[in-house]
Amino acid sequence: MTKFKRIINGECHFTMIETFDDVKKAANNSNRGEFVECKIDNLRFDFTRVTKEHNGKDQSASAEVDGSTEKKI
């Protein structure tokens, strides 16, 4: 069965809420606390791309096998 992958590119503004047990840990952006919630606003889609998933076939197959219209002399 052939599978297709949809990749949506865009941007948004988000608010992420974390809890900490110490004010110094909370003030440092490199620290990660306990995740509480994330809100996404102003979601905008720039473009979408659809690609075909690899189905296990050898990607270096010859032109003959791939059905190329090239003729041999």
pLDDT tens by residue, the chain, 73 residues: 789 999 999 999 999 999 999 999 999 999 999 999 999 999 999 999 999 987 665 555 444 555 555 555 5
Whether 42 is covered by a domain: the verdict is yes
Whether 22 is covered by a domain: the verdict is yes
Q: Domain residues for 26?
A: 14-53
The per-type count for the chain, helices as H runs and strands as E runs, is 2, 2
Whether 9 is covered by a domain: the verdict is no
Please tell me the predicted confidence (pLDDT) of residue 1. Answer: 79
Whether 65 is covered by a domain: the verdict is no
Q: For the whole model, what pTM was predicted?
A: 0.50
Q: Which residues of 5-30 are buried (b: 16+ CB within 10 A; e: fewer)?
A: eeeeeeeeeeeeeeeeeeeeeeeeee
